Amino acid sequence: MSDRGEAKGLVDFLIDSGVLIFGNFRLKSGRESPYFFNLGSINTGVKTTRLAEAYADRILEAGIAFDLLFGPAYKGIPLVVSTAEALARRGYDVGWAFNRKEVKPHGEGGHFVGAEIGGKILLVDDVLTAGSAIRESISLLKHTDAELAGVIVTMDRQECLSNKSAKTAVQQIEEELKVPVLSLLNLDDVIAFFKKEPETQINSASILSRLQEYRDEYGVN
């Protein structure tokens, strides 16, 4: 995130909302992480609006040209709708769509809900660790006339997929898909938050130490 003041405010908001939590967490990758990111805790109108405003600001700041916002089910659904509303409040009216986990055999049917899938798509999701969910979404879009314009997530964990890799998951996705991957925050932003205002956080010195150790072990130098 380019603006450290905005990053600090967003980290503070995510901690207060119970999205960004600290402890010992076993990830799908098998790694032991000192923090966990649960966007399911964004579950009220005020919280959803606050996060959507941050998404809209980051999208407009990046200047990516796109025609449609796409949110992968399930967590991408409220994100994509609320972000479209936040963009509309700024004078940018764009369509939104999301996929069904199971194809609907009756009624309107199909894989997707929302605006017609086509044109340049900006994919909106929560956190990027390995990029599996993004690749699944891209596989769905391959059967449409849509072209991926970019990806935006709340959190980039800045992790390598393996100890042998010299690139983070975000960097690999950008190289593989040939599109930009934006994030509202990354792990460095969280570390900077604890460095700058340790007196505001309980056990902040311990949290900071563990975050830095994790970054050193699994991040790119």
Output the six-digit token pair for 133: 């969910």
Could you give the angle at the alpha carbon of 49 between the alpha carbons of 64 and 131, nearest 5°? 50
The residues annotated as belonging to the active site are 104, 106
> Measured between alpha carbons, how far is 139 from 34 in angstroms, rounded to an integer?
32
> Measured between alpha carbons, how far is 122 from 12 in angstroms, rounded to an integer?
27
Nearest C-alpha neighbor of 3 from the set 61, 53, 75, 52: 61
Burial of 71 (0-12, 13-18, 19+ CB in 10 A): buried
Nearest C-alpha neighbor of 1 from the set 221, 195, 189, 215: 189
CB contact set of 90 (below 8 Å; sequence gap of 6+): 56, 60
Cα dist. 55→101, 109, 149, 219 in Å? 24, 30, 16, 25
> Measured between alpha carbons, how far is 59 from 150 in angstroms, rounded to an integer?
10
